Chains A and B, each alone.
Chain A
Amino acid sequence: MKGKAVPHLIGVFPLGMMSLFFLAPLAFMVMVSFYERDPLGFFNEAFVWDNYAKFFSSFYYTISLRSLWSASLGAVLVVLLAFPAMYIIVDMARRWQLFWVILLLSLMCLSEVIIGFAWLILFSENSGIPKFMGWIGVWENPRSLSPSFGAMMVGYVTLGFSLVALMFLPQLARRDRSIEEAALTLGTPPMQVFSKVILPNFKAGIVSALVTMFVYFLGVFVMPTMLGRPQDWNMTVIITDKAVGDANMPLGAALSVIMLIFTLFIIGALTYASRNKDKGALT
Chain B
Amino acid sequence: MATLSLSNIQKSFGTFQALRDVNLDIRSGEFICLLGGSGCGKTTLLRIIAGLEEMTSGNLLLENSDLSSIECHKRNVGMVFQSLALFPHLNVGDNIAYGLEVRGVAKSKRRQKATDLLEVVGLSGLYERKVSALSGGQRQRVAIARALAIEPKLFLMDEPFSALDAGLREHLQIEVKKLQRKLGVTTIFVTHDQHEAMSIADRIVILNEGRIEQAGTPTEVYARPQTRFVADFMGTNNIFSPIFTPGADAMLEDANLGRPSGELGQWSGKHTVAVRPEYLQLKPASADSTGLVGTVDFVRLLGASIETELSVGDRSFVHTMVSDRAPQFAVGDSVEISFDFDHAWVIPS
CA of A183 to CA of B87, assembled, Å:
9
In the assembled complex, A4 has its CB within 8 A of some CB on chain B: no
CA of A282 to CA of B134, assembled, Å:
10
| CB <8 Å contact, A187 and B150 | yes
| CB <8 Å contact, B73 and A182 | no
Residue of B nearest to A189 (CB): B73
> How many residues on chain B are close to A (CB under 8 Å)?
31
The interface residues of chain A lying within 8 Å CB-to-CB of B74 are: 187
| CB <8 Å contact, B89 and A176 | no
The interface residues of chain A lying within 8 Å CB-to-CB of B99 are: 186-187
The interface residues of chain B lying within 8 Å CB-to-CB of A58 are: none
Interface centre among B51, B89, B133 (most CB of A within 10 A): B89
CA of A169 to CA of B347, assembled, Å:
53
In the assembled complex, B82 has its CB within 8 A of some CB on chain A: yes
In the assembled complex, B76 has its CB within 8 A of some CB on chain A: yes
In the assembled complex, A200 has its CB within 8 A of some CB on chain B: yes
Residue of B nearest to A203 (CB): B89
Q: Smallest CB–CB gap between B156 and chain A, Å?
A: 8
CA of A184 to CA of B85, assembled, Å:
12
Q: Which of B77-112 contact A (CB under 8 A)?
A: 77-79, 81-83, 85-89, 98-99, 102-103
Q: Smallest CB–CB gap between B76 and chain A, Å?
A: 7
Binary interface encoding of chain B residues 105-126 relative to chain A, with 1 for a CB under 8 A from any of its CBs, else 0: 0000000000000000000000
Interface centre among A176, A185, A189, A203 (most CB of B within 10 A): A185
Q: Smallest CB–CB gap between B100 and chain A, Å?
A: 9
The interface residues of chain B lying within 8 Å CB-to-CB of A192 are: 102
Whether A185 touches B87, Cβ cut-off 8 Å, given contacts A281-B132, A281-B133, A282-B133, is no
CA of A39 to CA of B174, assembled, Å:
86
| CB <8 Å contact, B89 and A184 | no
Q: Smallest CB–CB gap between B8 and chain A, Å?
A: 25
> How many residues on chain A are close to B (CB under 8 Å)?
22
In the assembled complex, B146 has its CB within 8 A of some CB on chain A: yes
Cross-chain contact of B73 among A178, A179, A187, A197 (Cβ < 8 A): A187
The interface residues of chain B lying within 8 Å CB-to-CB of A281 are: 130, 132-133
Whether A178 touches B89, Cβ cut-off 8 Å, given contacts A185-B78, A186-B146, A187-B73, is no
CA of A16 to CA of B76, assembled, Å:
63
In the assembled complex, A150 has its CB within 8 A of some CB on chain B: no
Q: Smallest CB–CB gap between A213 and chain B, Å?
A: 23
Binary interface encoding of chain A residues 184-201 relative to chain B, with 1 for a CB under 8 A from any of its CBs, else 0: 111111101000110011
Q: Smallest CB–CB gap between A83 and chain B, Å?
A: 16
The interface residues of chain B lying within 8 Å CB-to-CB of A200 are: 87, 89
CA of A281 to CA of B92, assembled, Å:
12
Q: Which of B123-165 contact A (CB under 8 A)?
A: 130, 132-133, 146-147, 150, 156
In the assembled complex, A45 has its CB within 8 A of some CB on chain B: no
Q: Which of A71-94 contact B (CB under 8 A)?
A: none
CA of A199 to CA of B79, assembled, Å:
22
Residue of A nearest to B129 (CB): A283
In the assembled complex, A38 has its CB within 8 A of some CB on chain B: no
Cross-chain contact of B50 among A185, A203, A280 (Cβ < 8 A): A185
Whether A176 touches B102, Cβ cut-off 8 Å, given contacts A281-B132, A282-B133, is no
CA of A150 to CA of B97, assembled, Å:
46
The interface residues of chain A lying within 8 Å CB-to-CB of B76 are: 187
| CB <8 Å contact, B88 and A201 | yes
The interface residues of chain B lying within 8 Å CB-to-CB of A282 are: 130, 133
Whether A179 touches B75, Cβ cut-off 8 Å, given contacts A187-B102, A281-B130, is no
In the assembled complex, A181 has its CB within 8 A of some CB on chain B: yes
Whether A190 touches B85, Cβ cut-off 8 Å, given contacts A182-B79, A281-B130, is no
The interface residues of chain B lying within 8 Å CB-to-CB of A186 are: 73, 78, 98-99, 102, 146-147, 150
The interface residues of chain A lying within 8 Å CB-to-CB of B87 are: 179, 182-183, 197, 200-201
In the assembled complex, B2 has its CB within 8 A of some CB on chain A: no
The interface residues of chain A lying within 8 Å CB-to-CB of B146 are: 182, 186
| CB <8 Å contact, B88 and A178 | no
Whether A185 touches B72, Cβ cut-off 8 Å, given contacts A178-B82, A281-B133, is yes
CA of A13 to CA of B15, assembled, Å:
57
Residue of B nearest to A192 (CB): B102
Whether A181 touches B85, Cβ cut-off 8 Å, given contacts A186-B146, A189-B73, A282-B130, is yes
Interface centre among B73, B103, B146 (most CB of A within 10 A): B73
| CB <8 Å contact, B77 and A185 | yes
The interface residues of chain B lying within 8 Å CB-to-CB of A188 are: 73, 102
| CB <8 Å contact, B50 and A178 | no
CA of A282 to CA of B73, assembled, Å:
33
User: A182-B85, A186-B78, A196-B102 known; 19 other A-B pairs, CB under 8 Å?
Assistant: A178-B81, A178-B85, A179-B85, A181-B50, A181-B81, A182-B86, A183-B87, A184-B52, A185-B51, A186-B147, A187-B73, A187-B99, A188-B73, A201-B87, A203-B89, A280-B130, A281-B130, A281-B133, A282-B130
Would you mind naming 24 contact pairs between A and B with Cβ atoms under 8 Å apart?
A176-B85, A178-B82, A179-B85, A179-B87, A179-B88, A181-B52, A181-B79, A182-B79, A182-B146, A184-B52, A184-B73, A185-B75, A185-B77, A185-B79, A185-B156, A186-B78, A186-B99, A186-B146, A187-B102, A187-B103, A187-B150, A201-B87, A280-B130, A281-B130
Q: State the 9 A-B residue pairs at the shortest beta-carbon distance, nearest first.
A: A186-B99, A182-B85, A178-B85, A178-B81, A200-B89, A185-B79, A179-B85, A184-B72, A281-B130
| Chain B residues in the interface with A (C-beta under 8 A) | 50-52, 71-79, 81-83, 85-89, 98-99, 102-103, 130, 132-133, 146-147, 150, 156
| Chain A residues in the interface with B (C-beta under 8 A) | 176, 178-179, 181-190, 192, 196-197, 200-201, 203, 280-282
